[in-house]
Structures are given as structure tokens and as C-alpha cells.
Amino acid sequence: MTVDLVQHSIAVIARGQTPTGAYLASPNFAQYRYAWLRDGAFIAYGMDRAGQHRSSRAFHRWVDRTLRGVACKVEALEQKADRGEPIEMTEWLHCRYTPEGQEGDAGWGVFQLDGYGTWLWALCEHVRMTGARDLLEEVRPSVELVRRYLTRFWDRPNFDCWEEHGEHVHPATLACIYGGLRAVDALEGSQGAAEVCEAIRSYLLTHFVHGGRLTKFADGRSIDANLLWVSVPFGLLSPSDPLMEATVAELERRCVTGGVHRYPEDTYYGGGEWLILSAWLGWYYVRAGNRARALELLAWVERQADERGDMPEQVTDQANVPAMVQPWVNRWGPVAKPLLWSHAMYLVLRAELGLLEQQFSGPEPGW
């Protein structure tokens, strides 16, 4: 029997959502039994695109409750910054939490700003799609907290979306912050973040453009598939901007072997092809007007589902460094599967292609 990957993806995400509203990144993978703001925001967006607005709303309420519990940290950070004092890693807001809203401690870099910008963006998308303005008012204290936090600290070096290189500022992270702040302004019809957004844009274009394309670091050479975020969905550059077109051409040359690798030097589980990034590249091509290429990437993503329909984080058949696959399997077990973010990005790409029929399009009764 052929698995309905759309309905199965919705079911996988629903099963991975805890009673608190948090999405576990991968319930079957011990290291990923946390809720990341970044992953969760995109998962919630995928559920919104599939018409599963109750699930998305529950996630945003969980974020609000979690942030209210750590709000005092932002004031303390601001005071230390005002005094010019160094800030320890543990003092920043964390990037991952337990389903109960406690800070997660997995021994990885905790200071990541991308999830906070992404949450603002996903929340605004939820409100835009559903008309649920009451939710925006309900979580207003957390929205204002995050806006303060990002406006003050957007240019601090912090870990990227892969939990790496905490000594750098990252273009993809800047795009998340830019997109989140702009989304709130757009929803409210204000220009409150216009100045900082322009500063972010200027910083990115000053430090991360070399040879007519974007680079992962300010070194003129590196590439990373998360550079897609600069355009889709956060809109710092349009898909047709020559910088983005040149960046995508370089990604196709160095990071695509069927699916999309994170970056050429990646050795995590050998550095395989990631489903979220393959769907992301398809998302970009839809916005750029290349539907045929987007459909190719959709078909590739679908082929990676197992007989049950479960989608992994990555596949390692064409790993960057095949010799590094088994050491990671020995350390942590097989590649995470199912990964909720993979299923969510599959839903997003199908929706972008007009191949996903929502169950409903407006607010649910009682909202």
C-alpha cells in the first residue's frame, strides 16, 4: 500500500508534539528530545501551511510560557551590556528547552539567536494565515521581550543553526533576525524595527559578499546551504537578486549531489544530503519561478521516505566523507528518523507548489 506522505507527515508531527505544545525535534533520537525554537517555528509553519492551526497555536503558546519563565535573563543581560561587562555563555537565552520549558543541557552551544527571530516570523505567519489577532495580544509580552533581545544583541557572535562556530556572526542568523523583526512591523503596520533591520542588511552585505555571491564566513570562499534563508523566507534579498542567483549557482555546484549537503566540509554522519535543505532549495526555486527544478527536488525528498513514510534528517549514500558515517553511528546510533523538521519542510514545499490542500483556511471556531 502506498503511503500518503502528506497525511503521514502531519501525523508524525502531531505525535511528536508534547501535551505542553512543544515539538520534539526527533522523539526517537535521544540527542534530539528537546524543543528548539528554530526547528519548532518552522514545524509550526509547516503545520499552518497544512491547515493544522491548532497544533501551531499550541506551539506558540508554549514558546510564550517558556519565555515568560526566562524573561528576567534579558534585563540582566541588558544591564551587563550597559556596564560593558563580559557575558558568560550560560547567561544568554538558550536555544533548546525541555517540553516543560526548562533550559536544555546537552553540552552544545546554547547561545543561538536564529530561533528567536524565526519564532517572531512564524508567529506572524500564523496570525496572518488564521486572523488570530487574539493570540498576538496574548503573547505580546514575549514578542516585546524578543524584540528587545534581538535589537540589542543581533551583532554578537553566536552559534549558527548547525550548533557550530560560536565565534562568528552568521548570515543565516542575521536573516532570521531581520525576517522576524520585519514580520512584526508588517503585521502591526509600524516601522519600529526599520533602523535595526537596515543595519542588519548593511552588515550582511558589507561582510558576507565576495566575488558576487554570499559566503558562510567573511572569508570570500565558504558556502553553506543555510544561505538560502537570506532570500526564502526572510526576504533580505529577493530570489532574483543577482547575489542570490550566484549563491544558488555555487550551492548547486558544491553542495548538491541529488539532495543538498549543508556545506562541503561537513562530516556529521559523514556530511550527507539533508531533506530540509533539499526542500528549501525547492522552495527557493518556486519563488524564483523554476517550478520544474522544484518538482525535481520534491521528488528527491519523497524518495528518501522509508516504507512507513518516515523521513530522516539526512541520507548518507553520497556523504562528503563516507569514512565518518560509522563513527557517528557508533556514537549516537542511526541518523535521526523521523525528523519532524524534514516532514514539515516537505509540507511547505508541497504547499508552495500548490500540491497541498488545506483542511480549512480561516480561524477555528472559538478563536
3-state secondary structure of 23: strand
The candidate with the shortest Cα–Cα distance to 57, out of 144, 142, 138, is 138
Residue 231 near residue 238 (C-beta atoms within 8 A): yes
Instruction: Say how many C-beta atoms besides its own lie within 10 A of residue 319's C-beta.
Output: 21
In order, the DSSP letters of 205-239 are HHHSEETTEE-SSTTSS---GGGGGGTTTT-SS-T
Marked catalytic residue, from 64, 125, 313, 352: 313
Question: Can 188 be counted among the known catalytic residues?
Answer: no
HSE (side-chain half, CA atoms, 13 Å) at 142? 22
Rounded to whole angstroms, the Cα distance separating 115 from 108 reads 15
Question: Can 296 be counted among the known catalytic residues?
Answer: no
Residue 337's contacts (CB-CB under 8 Å, 6 or more residues apart) are: 26, 28, 29, 306, 310, 311, 312, 313
Question: Can 160 be counted among the known catalytic residues?
Answer: yes
Marked catalytic residue, from 125, 160, 273, 310: 160
3-state secondary structure of 97: strand
Residue 353's contacts (CB-CB under 8 Å, 6 or more residues apart) are: 282, 286, 291, 294, 295, 298
Instruction: Say how many C-beta atoms besides its own lie within 10 A of residue 253's C-beta.
Output: 10
Marked catalytic residue, from 103, 155, 163, 164: 163
Rounded to whole angstroms, the Cα distance separating 63 from 126 reads 14
Q: Which residues are catalytic?
A: 160, 163, 313
